[in-house]
Amino acid sequence: MIETDVIVVGSGPAGSSAAKHAALGGAKVILMDKKSEIGSPKRCAEGVSIQGLEKLGIKPSPRWITQKIEGVRIQTPDGTDIWLTEDQVKLPEAGYILERKVFDKHMAMDAARAGAEIKIKTLVTGVEKIDNGYIVETESMGKKIDYKCKILIAADGPEGHVARWAGLKPAAKAKEMESGVQYEMCNVEFEKPGVIEFYLGSCAPGGYVWIFPKGDDIANVGLAVLPHMAEKTALEYLDDFVAKCPYLKNAQAVELNVGGDPVGGMTKKLYDDNILVCGDAAGQVNPLTGGGIISGMTGGMCAGKVAAQAIKEDCSKKYLKLYDEMAHEELDHEIKRYKKVQEYLLTLSDEKLDALGHAFEGESFDKISTTEIVKKLIKVDKTAFLKLGKFI
């Protein structure tokens, strides 16, 4: 039996953030992941905001940045384009497209440098609640090893088992779990370099199609759909889009990524005695964009800080409720607002999206952000104003 203060299951950005901050707080931490290579395979379009990185105290590195975001293009079903680019108005920097396979390793290394011990190729096969913590059962390289911890942090993704095994409900209902699929492609053509592209409507029911440039002629091309709104599989929708998109006529896929994305908001219970849940496993995802890197790392940071202090004070749910309060204080404003926007957009037909696209033509933007786009939407659509007016 190997004993430690904190075990973090899952070494994605949220888990590494939790491990880092728990270790910085003085806790003895083990970060474990079932994969043999942290960051692979990726399950993400890889976009992050500069503001989000700054808030987390992460300095951009050319080692894991593939492209600076130069603008945004949104296309409605009839081909109407809404551009947010510097040739319209001088826009501040928006963000970056990452190389997640490098970024995730970088974040795990940050946790290791803070003092966390990393266990790769370590599959958690079960957890058992005991009086003063958890027994975590694992299998690694054909060996079964048990660990004992005072606090268990579940950061094992949207389909993770740890929180469920511990009796906490999963973050997303089946109808609120998007099905995502993505190709990384070369020979992609861009109308404007460095511009991230979004395609709306029936090409991706309940979600959208994205093209995120990664420098030169490389891009992530993917989509997410809500299965109960779709008539085909996510892959079939993506293949149809690729076949019709003029910018992809010579493109070739070099990688395929698939995965679920919980867009139903944060789970109602993020904690219990001796356990915390963060990242995708806790539904810490923007319901509108499906993005969860920054929000998941924010949740992980809160979990790590509270866990480190709890080791010194009290590991019961009475004390760990502090994490729930911190996470909601940090993330509720964004998640709840964008959930309302998502619900509104799900009611729009292709024809309505086209009409909104026409109304957007000629609009100027002060910055590149989801909030800025939603504010313009409220301005041009009376229905949106009635439903989302409080968003502002």
Q: In angstroms, what CA-CA distances link 361 with 37, 351, 370?
A: 46, 16, 17
Check: CB of residue 29 under 8 Å from CB of residue 15: no
pLDDT tens, position by position, 276-329: 999 999 999 999 999 999 999 999 999 999 999 999 999 999 999 999 999 999
Determine the Cα–Cα distance for residues 98 and 287; give it in Å rounded to an integer.
21
Question: What does the pLDDT profile of the chain (392 residues) look like in tens digits?
Answer: 999 999 999 999 999 999 999 999 999 999 999 999 999 999 889 999 999 999 999 999 999 999 999 889 999 999 999 888 766 545 556 799 999 999 999 999 999 999 999 999 999 999 999 999 999 999 999 999 999 999 999 999 988 899 999 999 766 778 899 999 999 999 999 999 899 999 999 999 999 999 999 999 999 999 999 999 999 999 999 999 999 999 999 999 999 999 999 999 999 899 999 999 999 999 999 999 999 999 999 999 999 999 999 999 999 999 999 999 999 999 999 999 999 999 999 999 999 999 999 988 777 777 777 888 888 888 888 888 888 877 65
Q: Supply 239's token pair.
A: 């293949």
Q: Is the peptide bond before 41 cis (omega within 30 degrees of 0)?
A: yes
* pTM confidence score: 0.94
Determine the Cα–Cα distance for residues 309 and 67; give it in Å rounded to an integer.
38
Check: CB of residue 260 under 8 Å from CB of residue 158: yes
Determine the Cα–Cα distance for residues 68 and 359; give it in Å rounded to an integer.
29
pLDDT recorded at residue 91: 56
Query: How big is the chain, counted in residues?
Result: 392
Determine the Cα–Cα distance for residues 357 and 276; give it in Å rounded to an integer.
43
pLDDT recorded at residue 326: 98
Q: Supply 2's token pair.
A: 């190997």
pLDDT recorded at residue 93: 62
Determine the Cα–Cα distance for residues 375 and 363; give it in Å rounded to an integer.
11
Task: Provide the pairing of β-strand 71-75 with 195-199.
Answer: parallel
Is residue 145 exposed (0-12), middle (13-18) or buried (19+ Cβ within 10 Å)? middle
pLDDT tens, position by position, 238-285: 999 999 999 999 999 999 999 999 999 999 899 999 999 999 999 999
DSSP bridge pairs for 37: none
CA torsion through residues 223, 280, 41, 46, sign: positive
pLDDT recorded at residue 171: 62
Instruction: Count CB-CB contacts under 10 A for residue 287.
Output: 26
pLDDT recorded at residue 372: 80
